[in-house]
Structure 1
Amino acid sequence: MSRKILLWLIWGTFLTYAFALAPPNQPDTVTLIQNLSTGNFSGINPLIIALFNIMGVLPLIYSCFLYSDGQMQKIPAWLFSIASFGVGAFALLPYLALRQPNPLFAGEKNGWLKFWDSRWTGRLLAVGAIALLLYGVTQGDWNDFGQQWQTSRFIHVMSLDFCLLCLLFPFLLADDMTRRGLTDRRWFWAVTLVPLLGALAYVSLRPPLSAEVATTGETVMQS
């Protein structure tokens, strides 16, 4: 099965499940979202607080891949990146399916690209994501979260969205590595086999993007 067909199948299945098969919305869902968005966390399970905020960090981590990748694509990566802050994998999956594999980088590395390419940006995101993970895991009520996962569409779909976003990095990773002259497959699998934490380590440690290096590499993983 080709990469594009697989990604469209995942997108269609997730869309169908989220709106047709997931648990129903609860009456307090809108209030919960408003409280989470405004920082009114009183009475909310820390696991849900952490998950909601990580869902804001994940699109930022993807931005460390998308803007340099989009430089060589016909489709506007920034549009999908912005949309992912609201709908997560529902926006990123179409980009991954529509983009063309391209291990090269050309054009100006302007200030915007330098920001997302910076190791310090990756490290700040890593600190934030790991802090949220530790907070949710250590302070959260797992029994309450399990009950809400079974009864609330918002919690249920957000949890699945989190899992998908953690697992989709490899579809951008191979080309990103090649642009940086990293062609050793062991690095690819080291990052891929540790979802989220592997991606955080990668954006914190990867060498800076260079047009000269990118044009000489070979693709790590074919589509």
Structure 2
Amino acid sequence: MIWIWLLFVLYAIFFAPGEGISTDWIFRDLVSGQFQMIDPLVIMMFSSLGIFPILFALLLLRVDDRVIPAWPFVLLSFGLGAFAILPYLFLRSRSRLVTKRAFTPLRSLLSSRLFSFALLIGTCLLYGYGFIKGSINEYTEAFQSSQFISIMTVDFFVLTVASFYIFWFIRKEGYKSFLCFLPILGPCLLLTATRHRPQ
């Protein structure tokens, strides 16, 4: 995981194409909520990066049983995405076990199938909006002209790999973990279908 993180950092600093955020109108309109001139596929990808941290809260906070706490990294992932999650996964794999930290009401919410199902439905609606109304050509143009969109796109796929890693190595779901390569949808399906058993 640390090598993926380092490659991602190098890509973001040296290789991401397009305008920097200081002159990028797409970035400006996205963060200000002015979506009228932005392709729906771009909006879908941008919004997905807001859903991913919620998914990682579901996956990590309810198995927060290592010396390195998960919550700071989950919190940072709302702004930094994979830049925050990948270092946690690396540190977690090298940390010893402790008692779980999550507060009981929070753990109860995170273990709820209803919450996972609501996230699944919201993601389906978002993807439907993006893929039905969006344009691959316009997204490609945005990727090439906006450094923010190019980094955001790579971030999306790195987070997808991270969710697979969590299910395979942390939750030990075996072959079912490959569902996680359906970004957000796969992990939500697994969480909805199986109830978490606190250890």
Contact 1:41 1:49 in 2 (8 A): yes
Question: Are positions 1:155 and 2:149 aligned together?
Answer: yes
Structure 1 counterpart of 2:44:
50
Structure 1 counterpart of 2:16:
22
Structure 2 counterpart of 1:37:
31
Question: Are positions 1:123 and 2:123 aligned together?
Answer: no
TM-score by length of 1: 0.78
The letter of the residue matching 1:147 is E
> Match for 2:176 among 159, 182, 187?
187
The letter of the residue matching 1:188 is S
1:105 Cα deviation from its structure 2 partner: 8.8
Task: Could you tell me which runs of 5 or more consecutive residues in structure 2 were left unpaired when the two chains were aligned.
Answer: none
TM-score by length of 2: 0.87
> Match for 1:98 among 91, 104, 108?
91
Q: Which has the higher Rg, Structure 1 or Structure 2?
A: 1
Root-mean-square deviation (CA), in Å?
2.4
The letter of the residue matching 2:66 is Q
CA distance in 1, matches of 2:170, 2:152: 27
**2:38 is paired with a residue of what secondary structure?**
coil
Question: Against the structure 1 CA distance between its residues 101 and 135, is the aligned structure 2 distance closer, same or farther, given a 3 Å change threshold?
Answer: farther
CA distance in 1, matches of 2:182, 2:34: 33
1:69 Cα deviation from its structure 2 partner: 2.4
> Match for 2:198 among 206, 210, 216?
210
> Match for 1:9 among 3, 12, 19?
3
> Once superposed, which parts of structure 1, at least 4 consecutive aligned residues long, lie more than 6 Å away?
none
1:53 Cα deviation from its structure 2 partner: 0.7
1:195 Cα deviation from its structure 2 partner: 4.3
The letter of the residue matching 1:66 is L
Structure 1 counterpart of 2:79:
86
Question: Are positions 1:197 and 2:181 aligned together?
Answer: no
The letter of the residue matching 1:88 is G
CA distance in 2, matches of 1:11, 1:177: 21
CA distance in 1, matches of 2:135, 2:37: 11
Deviation string, structure 1 residues 21-57 (Cα, Å, up to 9, x no partner): 111425542x534432343211111111111111100
- Report how many aligned residue pairs link the two structures: 196
Contact 2:55 2:184 in 1 (8 A): no
Task: Could you tell me which runs of 5 or more consecutive residues in structure 1 were left unpaired when the two chains were aligned.
Answer: 1-6, 212-223
1:170 Cα deviation from its structure 2 partner: 2.4
Deviation string, structure 1 residues 166-204 (Cα, Å, up to 9, x no partner): 1211221135535xxxx6x34334x34544322120122
1:209 Cα deviation from its structure 2 partner: 2.4
Question: Against the structure 1 CA distance between its residues 186 and 141, is the aligned structure 2 distance closer, same or farther, given a 3 Å change threshold?
Answer: closer
